[in-house]
Structure 1
Amino acid sequence: MPRLNPVIVIPARLHATRLPGKPLADINGEPMIVQVWRRAVKAGIGPVVVACAEAEVAAAVMAHGGNAVMTDPDHPSGSDRVWEALERVDPERQFGAVVNVQGDLPTLDPLVIRAVFEPLAHRGVDIATLVAEISRDEERTNPNVVKAVVGFAEGARVGRALYFTRATAPWGEGPLYHHIGLYAYRREALQRFVGLPQGVLEKREKLEQLRALENGMRIDAALVDTVPLGVDTPADLERARELLATT
């Protein structure tokens, strides 16, 4: 794994329909984006850069000692923002892999960030991501809970992702897996991915990762124990404050 020389990039933008100004939301005295940055640093797998769409976010990160880079505010996705940031901070292409950590996961365990990088140890894997077994019955049929179709061999913690869907899949007895939207890319895989047009199934399911599968790229998933708390609403923000107040 060391030969990949990874960098962690956290895309962040202020616009959010349900929680405006989300990256700068205060959580126990620090902006949320700073809380995420701290956890990424603790993962210890490489340098951390916050890819910002607005100067206010960059200023907040740098005020706490972090590294931030400005990117085009009009990027259609976090993946595009991560790619621009990578090219800006590393034009000499020293980093062979990049881990994309969402900026709205302030309670994220650094070990989870390490887990998403591990599948890239297999040379055939283009992109790595995470899943957790679904334990709540209502999540099995909830279209907002994205399912990853992965057949883990007995005792295995990494498996090949064959599909991602909002439907309940696969059919039959056995576990269902909740997809967690952290990704690790080989550099050349991310470059290819952001250059591809939207896929037919990507548009239908509204799932960006299907673009990779539709174009023959390999995604492997690492199995982790729990789904990290994503902050999308004021209620989520209060929950994150409560959780971090006790740690």
Structure 2
Amino acid sequence: MVLGLIPARFASTRLPGKPLLDLGEQSMIQRVVAQARQANLARVVVATDDDRIMRHVEDFGGEAVLTSPAHPSGTDRVWEAFQQLGSPAEVHCIVNIQGDEPFINPRQINALADLFADPATAPAIATLVKPVLTEEELFSPHLPKVVLNQLGYAMYFSRHPLPYQRNHERAEWLAHHRYLRHLGLYAYQPKVLEQLTQLPVSPLEAAESLEQLRWLEAGFQIRCAETELDAFGIDTPEDVVKARARLER
């Protein structure tokens, strides 16, 4: 059984109440739930820290649990939600779906869930990557990049493009190397998720502000599935305008 959990907190520095934002007659969180329900998930549950979000999800027919507002990350919120659901033994994969990506494609969710179909080969953790297509993407610190080994596992994540190309000008980097960008969709074995929530902040995580580096430093392997489909998270008022324009096309 694959369980989809969507962390959604009310507080946001730039967009308070972000999950409840109206996007074309539906809230953002309603759109995320609708997209997730089209994937091969046995159950989709919103994990929130606010009664208003929980009531709203229940009003449109979704399922939600109320979690502590003190969680430092969505990973911790997802683990508490799983516990509140009774930690069902039949769940072999938990997919952590970002609550601020109303255009998440069900095929992206399935790409991760499929990696866990066979218990004998299932990874501990999996995430998504996509090819970097533009110089703007490559050098944006807001779009983390990832370096993989030959088996498809992450070696390192960084806000800086890696590798550094010593013999080429920056404008030529994309022509000489295939760079990959990280998309913030994760899947885990339940027992692994529990272990991740017990890890302290690591030096690399503190330097780059990327939680997945904590896991790598602790010795966990992260399998990466590649997608050509893009991701569009909503973090700023400008993003809201773009999302509404996209829905009007």
Aligned mates of 2:86, 2:111 — CA distance in 1: 24
What is the deviation of 1:210?
0.7
Residue 199 of structure 1 pairs with residue 202 of structure 2 = yes
Q: Deviations over 1:162-194 (max 9, x none)?
A: 110112102453211110000000101100000
Aligned mates of 1:170, 1:22 — CA distance in 2: 35
Aligned mates of 2:128, 2:187 — CA distance in 1: 10
- Checking the alignment, whether the CA contact within 8 Å between 1:132 and 1:226 is kept in structure 2 is yes
Partner of 2:19: 23
Q: 2:155 aligns with which of 162, 167, 171?
A: 162
Q: 1:229 aligns with which of 212, 217, 232?
A: 232
- Checking the alignment, whether the CA contact within 8 Å between 2:48 and 2:67 is kept in structure 1 is yes
Q: 1:240 aligns with which of 226, 231, 243?
A: 243
Aligned mates of 2:223, 2:87 — CA distance in 1: 28
**Residue 225 of structure 2: SS of its match in structure 1?**
strand
What is the deviation of 1:39?
0.5
Q: After the TM superposition, which of the residue ranges 215-224 and 166-175 deviates more from structure 2?
A: 166-175
The change in CA–CA distance for 1:144 and 1:92 in structure 2 (over 3 A counts) is: closer
Residue 174 of structure 1 pairs with residue 177 of structure 2 = yes
Aligned mates of 1:91, 1:69 — CA distance in 2: 13
Partner of 2:216: 213
- Checking the alignment, whether the CA contact within 8 Å between 2:147 and 2:180 is kept in structure 1 is yes
Partner of 1:54: 50
Q: Deviations over 1:2-30 (max 9, x none)?
A: xxx11000000111111111000001111
Unaligned runs of 5+ residues in structure 1 are 154-158
Aligned mates of 1:139, 1:162 — CA distance in 2: 20
TM-score by length of 2: 0.90
Partner of 1:156: none
- Checking the alignment, whether the CA contact within 8 Å between 1:71 and 1:85 is kept in structure 2 is yes
**Residue 26 of structure 1: SS of its match in structure 2?**
coil
- Checking the alignment, whether the CA contact within 8 Å between 1:120 and 1:127 is kept in structure 2 is no
Partner of 1:14: 10
Q: Deviations over 1:99-154 (max 9, x none)?
A: 0000000011111111122333462521100011111112222222200112467x
Count the aligned residue pairs. 237
Partner of 2:170: none
Unaligned runs of 5+ residues in structure 2 are 166-175
Residue 112 of structure 1 pairs with residue 111 of structure 2 = no
Letter in 2 for 1:169: L
Aligned mates of 1:15, 1:182 — CA distance in 2: 21
Aligned mates of 1:174, 1:90 — CA distance in 2: 46
**Residue 135 of structure 1: SS of its match in structure 2?**
coil
**Percent identity over the alignment?**
40
Residue 143 of structure 1 pairs with residue 141 of structure 2 = yes
- Checking the alignment, whether the CA contact within 8 Å between 2:115 and 2:122 is kept in structure 1 is no
What is the deviation of 1:91?
3.4
The change in CA–CA distance for 1:160 and 1:91 in structure 2 (over 3 A counts) is: closer
What is the deviation of 1:92?
4.1
Q: 2:87 aligns with which of 85, 91, 114?
A: 91
Aligned mates of 1:135, 1:85 — CA distance in 2: 36
Aligned mates of 1:104, 1:92 — CA distance in 2: 26
- Checking the alignment, whether the CA contact within 8 Å between 2:23 and 2:244 is kept in structure 1 is yes
